[in-house]
Chain A
Amino acid sequence: MHHHRNPIHCILPPHVLKEIVANGTETQKQTALDTINASVVLRAERSKMAEYRMEFAAATIQAITGGKERIIYDAQNGSSLPGPAVRKEGEPPVGDVAVNEAYDGSGWTYDLYNDIYGRNSIDGKGMRLDSTVHYQRNYDNAFWDGKQMVYGDGDGELFNRFTIAIDVMGHELTHGVTQYEAKLTYSQQPGALNESMSDVFGSLVKQYSLKQTAVEADWLIGQGLLAAGVNGVALRSMKAPGTAYDDPVLGKDPQPAHMKDYVNTISDNGGVHINSGIPNHAFYVVATQIGGSAWEKAGQIWYVTLRDKLTSNSNFQDCANLTYQAAADLFGANSLEQQAVLKGWSEVGIDATATGGGTTPAPGCLGSLLKLIGAA
């Protein structure tokens, strides 16, 4: 059998090919990928194990390029994580709607981060997206456990399955991104910012999947999650915090839209799901002020702030200042985009400034010494 041979075939060892894939020009990358493929095909022909080898080639390319890779698991109503795998990357839909929703939702989230912000998965390095559905029985929740996403089926009377709303998947996966970037502490204002970032990018995933502009979007978090008979449209509204539900059993949506209504509480890690309404609404105002697709400019400002500027103990004022600075970095000082950021925070009672809000540096040797003797 005769094969056309590229000069680099059979010469370069695998680790060099990996380097080319990672750092070469587009043409070099393609040639290297063809080489990996071709060499595997040759070996497969020799060993008569073509099918196995082709699978191996696909997996090798996947591992080297670190593309989208999802696995959905089924907890089978138990608490053990992750449970047996039921759908892997590239496999067709199965007969379980929660599995398919988790697969599609994490896919759209990967795509938004990758296509728009150039981020390769949760850790920026192609981390596999693991999701478990059917966690426990009648479980009214979805959470990020530090490594993977977990979804309950809901009790059916108050809540439907948590994969029903695509923004829930975007929300949970963004907790992973925050864990790798700003590392916002999950308590008080940093915790509410952590929650808000998840709502912001959760909503952007929904808008991106529906190709909606900021004006067309509903800005609801968890639309469809509330079971029939519950008085409400969703769990949170970024457009009008505090109006998502008002029900005899669930109570009323407690989210404030302004600093004057900030809720001081020890419950819910210091109200992380309550006071997130304030930065949520700021983002909504910024995005609608700028207009067009919210993921493009407003989303970019927030993403850069999350990735490069916020730190673990940042508060709302810090976030206002840092998004204001990020807008200047990206679009110029006094640009329309920066003015929109100013207005967004102003509407929730926070004056963004061009300085401050960055990392509070740990004191150096001299600083520590002065602090010790009470001179600083």
Chain B
Amino acid sequence: MKNQIFVTILLVILIISATIALLARWILISGLTKELELRGIAVAHSIAERGAGFVLEKNSPELLTIIFDEARLMERQHMINYIYVLDRSDQVISHTFTIPFPIGFTKANPMPENASHGVRLVEHGANTSYDIVVPMNEGLYRIGTVHVGLSKEHIDKLVSKLRFMFLGFISAVIIIIFYVSHRISRHITMPITRLTRISDELSQGNFDFNLGQESDTVDPDCLFYRKNQGRDEVSQLADSFLNMVWSIRLYRKRLQESELKYRPLFDSAPNPIFVVDASTETILDANPRAEELYEYPLEALFGMPFQRLGQDHIKDSPIAVRPHGSASGPAKDYVYYPRILHLKNGGHPFYVNMHACPIRYGGRQAIVVAITDITEMIEKDAQLVQAAKMKTLGEMSAGIVHEINQPLNTIKMGSDYLTLLLDQKKTITEVQIRDIVTEISEQVDRATEIINNLRAFGRKSDLTMELVSMKEPIQGVLSIIGRQFSIQRIAIRLDLADNLPLVKAQNNHLQQVFFNLLNNARDAIQEKMEPEPDLYGDIHVRTYSEDGKVVVSVTDNGSGIPEPFRDKIFEPFFTTKKTGKGMGLGLAITYGIVRDYGGTIKIESTPGQGTTFYLIFSAV
């Protein structure tokens, strides 16, 4: 840069100088030569004027005096080599040669016709002269010619002197310009060189060099900010650049602080966090907890396809979900996947909740995936549900005993009857035996069915979801408690739609849900029965589909839920029942189960009239 500016300036100056030099030389030298010639002509004319009389008189000595006077006047003696005067017949009248007049010299420069003068380069002896010839007139007649010899040597000397002076001047100018241009280029390029050096340092990551700034330009308000005031553009550029460097330094420092702040958060987070490339779906980064939970070494996690960690979300992978909003939907801050199955190294499955959130990572579009291991929670949930079911079974035991007692009673009576017949030695007809035995067999089947339902209800279900038709759990629960309810003068009416879409849930847990709802309905009805002993309980269970949802409604004609309690009834340990009647967990568990399946619960209630619970599930 510096050299370029320098060379360019120099080149331009040289070309201009050379042009000026050539032009000036031509003008000066030709002008000088002309001037000297004119002076020669003037001398010749003067002689022709003054000497005309003497030529006519052939007065050689006077003429000689004149021409000598002219030739030797002042500095002309150096310039004028000779003067000689010729008459009409070109005979030398007088001359200034100190040597004998060279023979034939008169013919060297004859007077041209029809011209006021003539000039020609002539040689005489060792000298070379510009011979100037002018006519000498007397009236209309030419009486002779005057030749003046101007010393070429002298002219050349003058010219070379002039040329020397001129070249010297040009050289001086060039040297000055050279120096000036050097200074200018240095002045321009020096800050740029400095900026270059700083940039190099910056790019090498060294931000802690001395900027060497002059403190006089530092803004008093901001220690680092330099105002671009006055000065030249290069300085302003430098200032801007330094400001930029300060900004970078500042942001870098903040970034470092932020990194210092967030890296430990990332590393010490109690939950696994992954950074996944959005396009390749490979893992870019993972924290130690991820290594621990997934039982892969960190090195193995880097670059591993994220989908290898889990299969549940392959269909609707977090990556497949446009973090910046799909073409149809608006951008979401994050995507949440509750309760999905992930696999450890070695294929051991466990449950997680997953948050996916888009970020820029090292210039790439990436996704931060935060994982929460909820296996333990789900197991605890299952245990709670299980405990609740066991409690329910306890509560149901009276009903169950009654339920099982009926077939047992029939079987017992049937067999006793047969024994009685045998004891009384009466003849038993085949029809009688067949009748009794068929009855006994039917009753055994009935008892078996009850026991199967109980077993299904009491079984600790595994954690995986299945596709459930709402009909199954409702009928299952009813087979256990239906009779007990009817004894308590509560009729359960079923209105179950056929071909209802399936729901992803667990039959076993749904039984608990319906048991809880029916149990609450019964309690509400019994509460109302106290002041109204003639009341007949009515519970209406409906299933139907609506807008792609599966809805189960349970309506009772019980006491209803007072407005202030409606928000609280799903809270654990909230109960309005008498002490010892309920723990206040039934609806809390119900709510937890329904929410686990992505469902919602709605309540409509009129105190004194009854309550309707709506369970709304997404159909598969």
Do the two chains belong together in a single complex?
A: no
